[in-house]
Chain A
Amino acid sequence: MTEPCYITASCQITPGKVVKDGALLMENENIAPISYLQWLYEQKGYNYPKFYKMDGLSRLGWLAAECLLEGSFDKNRYAPEQVGLICCNRNSSLDTDTRYYDTVKTIPSPALFVYTLPNIVLGEICIRHQFRGENDFFIFERFEPVFLQAYVQQLMQENVFEACICGWLEFLGEAYQACLYLVEKPASKNSVPFTTATIQTIYENTHG
């Protein structure tokens, strides 16, 4: 029998907007898409110097995970290895690949090269929150709610992890979208059932 799981929080970041649990959290339309992420970091008053070393995809994912978990996640409920991450995107690390390859003709940059893998953002989130569970990165042409729901449901069922941060983390040039949601077994006050339909709704809600 399938044990129900719930989405206990969600966060969506697109240029100029943050939507948390379906409602508009922060907006700034008068800022370039790239500057928005740094603006967000400063507005939130975060103090995590490694943020400045990260590439665009990792900054995006790191911020989305912060906003996702703030006020919504009780870390003490889980052992480090009980929290997993299953994410995906379309263009892997292509944004940083291009930037890195520009340095190859002069002095290849190790600081950029390390970000030329899509799963590095998952490592950054694990380091920040000390999550040690499974982390997998898939590449799809588009957001695939059917696969993502069924696969994560199965892994929750098999107790591979007890909580999972899932979703879409795409960053290329001026265009980016982070849509993360937190899947847990117990329902909470504002949780919604973990279904294909609910994750599609969260993915489509970029405006709150």
Chain B
Amino acid sequence: MRPVFTIADNIISPLAFGTASNYAAICRGESGVRQHTKPGIAPFPFYAALFDELADTSHIDTIAGNFTKFERLLIASAKDALGNAGIDPADPRTLFIISSTKGNVSLLEDDKTVSPSAIGLASSAAKIAAHFQSPNQPLVISNACISGLTALLTGMRLISSGKYDHAVVSGADIISSFILSGFQSFQAISAAPCRPFDVARNGINLGEAAATIVLSSDPAQSKLRLAGGAVTNDANHISGPSRTGEELALAIRQALHRAALTTADIGFISAHGTATLYNDEMESKAFGLLGMNAIPINSLKGYYGHTLGAAGLVESAIAITTLQQQEMPGTKGYAVSGVSQPLQLSDKTVPVHAKHCLKTASGFGGCNAALVFSR
């Protein structure tokens, strides 16, 4: 089994284009979440992080070809990451992996009779791979809110086994009336900026983002290692998280075991922290079960909202930068703990001394994922 390295990344969010400028913005406490009045998306004002706030969209607008907004964002993100990766996307040893929950679902809103292939994630992925002249069939992962982490884990495995040398892992989701109305129907949307792990938290903000992480077997340009990962299922409820956190704890334990590390090696945790009552409580129980209460931890949902299929990649790219800079962005919206287990949360950027970090996520269908990155 070969080690797998992260060699380049990109984030496109309403805050900024590029990982470095995103990291700088959130370290300054800036958030892309604000109130919007958009009758095309919802009949009432709502808080979300939407792309029309992004000041410079030239990287996205200048992509030539017949692409949807979703596809254009993925291409712009992959292109920027590839520009820093120094690998050839057309190489047969390079694989493209796409992560999304709903992809082009907004096409359904404009035309109910839209062809299944136009809306399908497989055809979007094929168009993106063709744009980069990749000779390989791309993979598409659609695993609810853990999609981005599952996509990274899949890429890591296909490189470690020698099947490929590089993987370009990109994820995106667009917020439309389909998605917003659905979360609203669950009463999961907060009427104000979200407050992860806080006593006053009352739901999520949705967000738009695209992100890419390039994985490689070649340490020459390496930033860090993707050292291990695991996925588990709660086997409890399709839309509510585990009551005990045991299954997320199991994923963390397995990811650490596969990385040949223990909880004591982890310098900080990038949690899912959606700011729903049940998710954040479940996560605190999982970290509590593993005795990880004293490890610095954050949630980035207060800056980006919940970016669904992009979330695992956006948050991993920030975690990678945090490992390099040794400064961890705070949890925007957090003031007073509202979970049963004590956690090392702060709303301010804090210094960390981390050689390894943990990234977690959980989603509908009862799925949990954990990845370990190492410096």
Contacts and interface: CB of A to CB of B under 8 A. Distances in A.
Interface stretch (A104-112, A181-189, A192-200): A104-112
A104 B1 CA distance: 49
B185 A139 contact: no
A26 interface: no
A92 B143 contact: no
B181 A108 contact: yes
A4 B142 CA distance: 29
B238 interface: yes
Contacts of B154: 136, 151
B140 A135 contact: no
B35 interface: no
B371 interface: no
Interface string B89-128: 0000000000001110100110010001001111101100
A130 B161 CA distance: 30
Contacts of A80: 235
Contacts of A27: none
A141 B126 contact: yes
Interface in A131-156: 131-141, 144, 147, 150-151, 154-155
The contact size tier of chain B is 35 or more
A72 interface: no
Nearest to B125: A139
A126 B236 CA distance: 8
B186 A110 contact: yes
A132 B234 contact: yes
Interface in B306-355: none
A123 B116 contact: no
B144 A127 contact: no
B67 interface: no
A136 B177 CA distance: 27
Interface string B125-159: 11000000000010111111000001000100110
B97 to A, nearest CB: 10
Contact of B364 (A123, A130, A136, A155): A123
Contact of B150 (A109, A116, A123, A136): A136
Interface string B36-66: 0000000000000000000000000000000
Interface string A35-74: 0000000000000000000000000000000000000000
A157 B363 CA distance: 27
A204 interface: no
Query: Chain B contact residues: over half helix, strand or loop, or mixed?
Result: mixed
A97 B233 contact: no
Contacts of B236: 127
B126 A123 contact: no
B366 A101 contact: no
Given A101-B109, A108-B182, A132-B250, A118 B119 contact: no
B99 to A, nearest CB: 11
Nearest to A159: B258
A80 to B, nearest CB: 7
B228 to A, nearest CB: 11
A24 interface: no
Contacts of B139: 138, 147
Contact of A126 (B108, B121, B366): B366
Interface in A79-101: 80-81, 85, 90-92, 94, 97-98, 100-101
Contact of A134 (B120, B186, B232): B232
Given A97-B105, A119-B367, A154-B157, A110 B182 contact: yes
B366 A113 contact: no
B126 to A, nearest CB: 7
Given A81-B232, A139-B121, A139-B122, A132 B247 contact: yes
Contacts of A25: none
B365 interface: yes
Contacts of B102: 97, 116
Given A91-B116, A113-B182, A135 B367 contact: yes
25 contacts: A85-B233, A90-B122, A100-B178, A100-B182, A101-B112, A104-B181, A107-B185, A108-B181, A113-B182, A113-B185, A114-B238, A117-B144, A117-B364, A119-B143, A119-B363, A120-B238, A122-B233, A123-B233, A129-B235, A132-B250, A134-B232, A136-B141, A136-B150, A140-B122, A158-B1
Q: Which 9 A-B pairs have the closest CB atoms?
A: A123-B365, A113-B182, A139-B140, A108-B185, A110-B185, A134-B231, A126-B235, A108-B181, A126-B233
